[in-house]
Structure 1
């Protein structure tokens, strides 16, 4: 008889396969020491290993696009992080530690500093340990971390996946992912969805899954079947996801328009969005030309970078988010490195208080890029919390001739006071990842909190409703650009709450469009009321799946 494991559903689809577990972690080096005369050689070996790891990750990043490229670039930069490198060198010279022991202890110390800081910065602790293992493997000649390659399709099972591993997954080989840790907005979840790999995270009992056993994974329902029957395996294998195409026009069954847009981070991702027939860009992350730099890019550099994205969407909307520095994206020219809690610190628009010139130059660059291209450019600021912040940002945009200036709604205060925010902001975009973690006070990386860290939480959806009602008082449109927008089952609920556009990974466009095309706007509003009447996220998700069973089952969702 089958046994069912339950977890957080993060990437839809059904698959069956044999379990392959991640290899054992790189072993901890012994507490060995070197003599003073060997210090220079040890430091040289340490530097060479760090550069080798960085070069390898940079090469992978160059072959990737979008979120995967960003993740790999950040991990590569961490391999050369001066904080990690200088501490490791100090341990070699002062304590006589071997280079592998020095980097092990230095990385553990850095991770221990990051973990108490709360998300998203605490998520970097996982990256630090991944880099640690890669450098130690390089120094000791053992197998580096990485996804197994057994030579046949398989279900990958792990406690969690390092971002660099997730970013390099091959969907042809990995038919599904199951983790015991992580959460609905972890890198594993985001990248699995972008790759179209069915995934369940924070699955209770996943650590007991044995190498070689056969399981069935339902990423839409959040379940893993152990000891499935032959019929269950065959049903999963025959339920190959239909390769749908989006026709470029999002609407409900009765013709109510819903803009279906793409989240992009660079020109390559913009091309992928065009290929998926996205109606435009709902979130253009501009950090790609700022990250990994000690100094701010010039206006000219920014103009060139932005034009690469705008050129792909001539005549269509592109929503440009201004620099979202701080927390997990520290930049030396706008953020401090000694904040006690960066997730609640100077990040996003707040960096403009001390460094207004950086925002001013970015707006100038956006305006010049918009003038040179044919895209319909809208601009929004991250981490808007008050009416005064919205007013000041809109005024700054107007000084550069940018008349479509909006606010990201990620802070519960902004959602609750949206009527006043939208007196100034001409549109809003709800970042559900941050809105959820701030509303629920839950670290999105902790598997133990996965039930809290989901946009299906009725409390979070109440904040979405409040935002839309505040915007409607002024005739302002509101979209969603967080991971919730890529959930095809949640999409009708968001539309019913008043959301007018959804921006997501390009791969999700066809599924979201297919569901919306099967429901009327009236039914969307009814589903919204059903969700708000539920006591918790599981009840809300289950209620909508029951209500939409006639739609979801034929679509394989």
Structure 2
């Protein structure tokens, strides 16, 4: 579909979806409370705050349980933030000064959010979530409905500055045709949850600030475009693409492969065993990334070997005879755990995190490997285990040794920093496989916080600098005969998935909702064509150019 450059608004598309409909804008947050003295006692105001916070935490938890999957993890973390001691202390200080509960919550939450934003990284991202919690608590104190998604009484395209996880997680897909955000990048919580739910979305569309309720738009995620007031021809083309996509998603599920039969196993990224059945139903050939953090993030102490073994066994039983790649605990200073490392660091993204934190707390790592080994013995899945945030050959060697000491047969590494990509051949001589985490690899390559809107333009795995590092790892895999996968968000972008295969990647892992689109796109290209598309992308000077070069190269041999 062709677009007039003057009427097309550009952003970052999530997936391959396309939708047509009227705009409904997200309602603004409640007005900021006035700075005025309370007529109640400090104890009475404190009781009001406590009741409101408990109500909001309960609502977020219930929303998470209803949504399940990644959304549940995000919302449960948000519920914990509402009750965080640092926030409580800040609220108490305002109440001690005689302020109202509403003003105390608004001011204290804003102060803590500002501190988190200054830290950047994972904690910086939590600032936006804390603002959302604050708005919900203030609304509860006022007896008003929580800020949320509008209900115009008909299907609509939701336009928002950004969307809180609590809202994204429970979008009614019978009414929300597509999502457009003014802020945010491809690895924001909004984008990740939209991809996991299969929502047609374009994020980071600055020009969407000018859209009004009722405006008719086409949201074309495949072309990262929002089109205002489309012509009848463009509407007809959009409707035809919607039907074609429905037909492709309803087609019989086959194993991932290119047009010439080259196998490309398509695996699922999972955050808990609860999502395994859905992944199998959507055609996942195994698991390429199982995040184990859900067992640790809500605990004051590390879970026991028995507790971990039970969860891992449940997961592995869902994939008999299939590959399941489990990532060791990926936490540390940017996701502080009291039993791992809660020391403050000026730049936690570059601090004691991932494998570094585990090696500094060896017992936690050994307990996790023991639990995985026991689960492996009790099931028929093909268990692979990998270390997060590996940056040196020595770290890869230590992890492989530990894994083998605990009876684990297949041990690999995550490639998330440029050093491990550049050392990939030496690392793969020690490790059994490599899995590229494109979210962090992009962040560290471009020196741009992946969750910071002001540098969202650099948070794009299509950037040729990132693709060249992927090529290094792919070449190392070919030289050593070791498999190389991608488990970052990039694998869920169908055309980028083709590029990754052309760069030497052998398996792709993604949110289960993306499997059908990626499977269909791979079947359109041979291995030789995928390599040519990748080569075209590498010649571009920037991410937008790489995406366009790949699209042009792909169209040159399209069977349609």
Matched, 1:350 2:353: no
Q: Secondary structure at the match of 2:24?
A: strand
User: Equivalent residue for 1:87?
Assistant: 90
Cα shift at 1:547? 2.1
Q: Secondary structure at the match of 2:23?
A: strand
Cα shift at 1:492? 1.3
In structure 1, runs of 5+ residues without a counterpart are: none
**Alignment of structure 1 residues 31-180 onto 2, 5 Å:** 31-34=35-38, 38-93=41-96, 95-180=97-182
Quick check: 1:8–1:450 contact (8 Å CA) kept in 2?
no
Quick check: 1:246–1:509 contact (8 Å CA) kept in 2?
no
**Alignment of structure 1 residues 423-438 onto 2, 5 Å:** 423-438=429-444
Residue 28 (structure 1) aligned to one of 8, 32, 46: 32
Cα shift at 1:5? 0.9
**Alignment of structure 1 residues 179-198 onto 2, 5 Å:** 179-198=181-200
Cα shift at 1:328? 4.8
Quick check: 2:178–2:219 contact (8 Å CA) kept in 1?
yes
Cα shift at 1:222? 0.8
Residue 413 (structure 2) aligned to one of 407, 417, 426: 407
User: Equivalent residue for 1:454?
Assistant: 460
**Alignment of structure 1 residues 472-487 onto 2, 5 Å:** 472-487=478-493
Cα shift at 1:237? 3.2
Q: Which runs of 4+ in 1 moved over 6 A?
A: 550-553
Cα shift at 1:104? 1.2
In structure 2, runs of 5+ residues without a counterpart are: none
User: Equivalent residue for 1:463?
Assistant: 469
Tell me how far apart the structure 2 counterparts of residues 246 and 372 of structure 1 sit (CA, whole Å).
32
Tell me how far apart the structure 2 counterparts of residues 110 and 305 of structure 1 sit (CA, whole Å).
34
Tell me how far apart the structure 2 counterparts of residues 327 and 231 of structure 1 sit (CA, whole Å).
53
Quick check: 2:333–2:345 contact (8 Å CA) kept in 1?
no
Q: Normalising to structure 2: TM-score of the pair?
A: 0.95
Cα shift at 1:142? 2.3
**Alignment of structure 1 residues 273-288 onto 2, 5 Å:** 273-288=279-294
Cα shift at 1:211? 1.2
**Alignment of structure 1 residues 219-234 onto 2, 5 Å:** 219-234=221-236
User: Equivalent residue for 1:8?
Assistant: 12
Cα shift at 1:201? 1.2
Quick check: 1:307–1:373 contact (8 Å CA) kept in 2?
yes
Deviates more, 1:24-33 or 1:279-288: 24-33
Cα shift at 1:443? 2.4
**Alignment of structure 1 residues 513-532 onto 2, 5 Å:** 513-532=519-538
Tell me how far apart the structure 2 counterparts of residues 248 and 323 of structure 1 sit (CA, whole Å).
32
Deviates more, 1:222-231 or 1:46-55: 222-231
Tell me how far apart the structure 1 counterparts of residues 99 and 507 of structure 2 sit (CA, whole Å).
56
Deviates more, 1:530-539 or 1:403-412: 530-539
Cα shift at 1:551? 7.5
Structure 1 residues 188 and 350: CA distance shift in structure 2, 3 A:
same
Matched, 1:541 2:547: yes
Cα shift at 1:404? 0.5
Quick check: 1:171–1:195 contact (8 Å CA) kept in 2?
no
Tell me how far apart the structure 1 counterparts of residues 330 and 43 of structure 2 sit (CA, whole Å).
40
Structure 1 residues 273 and 4: CA distance shift in structure 2, 3 A:
same
Cα shift at 1:248? 4.2
Deviates more, 1:357-366 or 1:164-173: 164-173
Cα shift at 1:394? 0.6
Q: Normalising to structure 1: TM-score of the pair?
A: 0.96
Tell me how far apart the structure 1 counterparts of residues 558 and 81 of structure 2 sit (CA, whole Å).
42
Tell me how far apart the structure 2 counterparts of residues 553 and 171 of structure 1 sit (CA, whole Å).
32
